[in-house]
Amino acid sequence: MSKSITLANGHKQPQAARRPSLLLTAAVEAFRRFNPTALWGSPILFTLWLCAALATMESLLGRPVSGVATGLAWQLTAWLWLTLWFANFAETLAEGRGKARADSLKAGMNQLQARRVGALDDRQGEWVAATDLRKGDLVLVHAGEMIPADGEVVQGIASVNEAAITGESAPVIRESGTDKSGVTGNTQVVSDQIWIRVTANPGESTLDRMIALVEGAKRQKTPNEQALTALLVGLTLIFLLVVATLPLFLGYNQTQVPRLYLIALFITLIPTTIGGLLSAIGIAGMDRLVKLNVIAKSGRAVEAAGDVRTLLLDKTGTITFGNRMADELIPAPGVEPSLLSQAAMLASLGDSTPEGKSILALGAATLQAPELLPSDTVIPFTAETRLSGLDRNRHSYRKGAVDAVLAYLALSREKMPEPLRQAVDRIARQGGTPLLVCTQDRLLGVVYLKDIIKPGIKARFQMLRHLGIRTVMITGDNPLTAAAIAAEAGVDDFIAEATPEKKLAYIRQEQAGGRLVAMCGDGANDAPALAQADVGLAMNEGTQAAKEAGNLVDLDSNPTKLLDVVQVGKQLLVTRGALTTFSIANDLAKYFAILPALFVAAYPQLGVLNLMQLHSPESAILSAIIFNALVIVALVPLALRGVSLKGTAAELLRRNLLIYGVGGLIVPFVGIKLIDVIVTGLGLV
């Protein structure tokens, strides 16, 4: 099935149609980045540029100076520049995948106007450009108008279309004084009017952050990237020392080594593979996050997600659907199950709540669902009666809370049939809600309303457990109910009767044990815990306090997204680690594969290590340079896609060491030998 990208104008552009233009744009941009000032932030690529420039000078001076045949000199130089181009191409291709969305978002931001008002009773105000708004300004937005900036609803309630941000066409409700008061710029008010307090200056909004992420603009290296870069620089200095001392050793045997050979040898030995792919891996990780509609305030948050060891999840909406669903009908002694089912459906015909609809669906699984007749009288649920039902043909059908139905029938709890009383107690212990069903003069049975666990959530928790991540359920239920739901959902621990103080204390306790913690929230009372957590995912529809406290914002306001964020962070770290392992193993293998072939004439003892029996020193160095360039191209898809996370943490480590560690040692021997055969056969050396 072909995939497509939705643009701001609502049209869909197939990915297959835009792939050639994406590749062409990335290829052109890769040439533009030959500017050394653009490479200064990447020490490995800057070193590669310097070596390619020196090789070009050697080739221009010709054989009398370089000591290398002109044809071979230009081949080596060309492949050095191609290596740099391939590394640039990996980065520009990773950035280019988000360009379409960035352009779409930019188009939507252009020409936005705002009605700025001075007070909540001001209904006129003045029209200004959205770019003139500042944090703290008050704007009034009517139905049909675009929200000009990120903000918080301070008065009114409205239906808002957020399709430009979330991709969902169904409008959502935004209301002042609730946990769903946050609004995003470039979304449209569909009904009513709202007063909004602007919470972001130009350049700091959700859209601006998303555009910066997908374009790779202002991207700072994360702590892990900085540490890895320091390691790569250290390895580069070691190999520089190795190559610089070679002429001294060879001088004792009166052997001359052309400078161009030393330059090429140096490039084949330094970790150019991971150096060329490092930025692409990070940008691709950010791109995967943007596709989830999650905005990261910094790359540090994404890396922290990959190192998370404890995951705090709200029960309602994350682990369960939040709407109680009918799970079981328990008839009273002497009552046929079909009679209870029929009465429960009749009592729910006028009930439009999710609970009422679920009772109809459960009954319809065994009986034909009844229809509402014109002569029927619907009895709506009220907080006073806590009953709902239907009157039909002098018969009454009711369902409701246990004590309310007993009062309706003028029965005491002691006079309830013992099996029904036991069923009611069992349901309450298991965290469910019991509803009694009756006619005007007879108790028929119990409906078990259950907070349904989301399908597949237990398997996801199991997968996280395999990766070494503990899951903790947060709920306001009593400990007995919480324990029952936790056991069914498969979480590792739970916090019952949770309060903001309890959540904060639990996070600090976990962090004191050296574990990184992630959690999500949307209310002002979640802000302290979001700020304390290493990864705080705030809901975009939530309060401004929550969004400021968290370091990630979910535009879809879906608490389950926290699981995906952790997986994206984990995949980013695993991919970087796997390709670093491959690159370093490659360098070690190339060291032992090339040096014997190059210097066996000067030191015949090296013949023992000349396992590949390369044709000549010239073919050895050319084959190594070609292999060094092509391996970057071969690994670009993996850098962009990411390494698979299947299996436990131990299995993942073992598999990656085998594939990327042992594989990194073997592949250079095979690849360089194959290229040596080809270049020799074609007469290139």
Catalytic annotation, residues? 314
Amino acid at 405: V
Output the known binding site.
351, 355, 381-388, 399, 522, 526
In angstroms, the CA 538 to CA 180 distance is 12
Nearest in space to 612 (alpha carbons), one of 628, 641, 636, 589: 589
Report which secondary-structure segment, H or E, holds 173: strand 172-175
User: HSE on the CB side for 435, CA within 13 Å?
Assistant: 31
Angle between helices 479-489 and 418-429 (to 10 degrees): 70
430-435 LR contacts (CB < 8 Å, sep 24+): 430/481, 430/484, 431/477, 431/480, 431/481, 431/482, 431/484, 431/485, 432/324, 432/327, 433/324, 434/402, 435/399, 435/400, 435/401, 435/402, 435/405
* Overall size of the chain counted in residues: 685
Output the known binding site for ATP.
351, 355, 381-388, 399
| DSSP 8-class letter at 298 | -
In angstroms, the CA 602 to CA 639 distance is 40
Q: Collapse the DSSP code of 299 into the 3-class scheme (helix H, G, I; strand E, B; otherwise coil) and give the result.
A: helix
Strands ordered across the beta sheet of 552-554: 294-296, 552-554, 535-539, 516-521, 308-314, 470-474, 493-495
In angstroms, the CA 482 to CA 461 distance is 17
Output the known binding site for Mg(2+).
522, 526
**Cβ–Cβ < 8 Å for 117, 98:** no
Q: Look at strands 443-453 and 433-439 and give their pairing.
A: antiparallel
Strands ordered across the beta sheet of 433-439: 320-331, 443-453, 433-439, 395-400, 387-392, 377-379
Write out the two tokens for 394. 């002098």
Nearest in space to 83 (alpha carbons), one of 458, 622, 598: 622
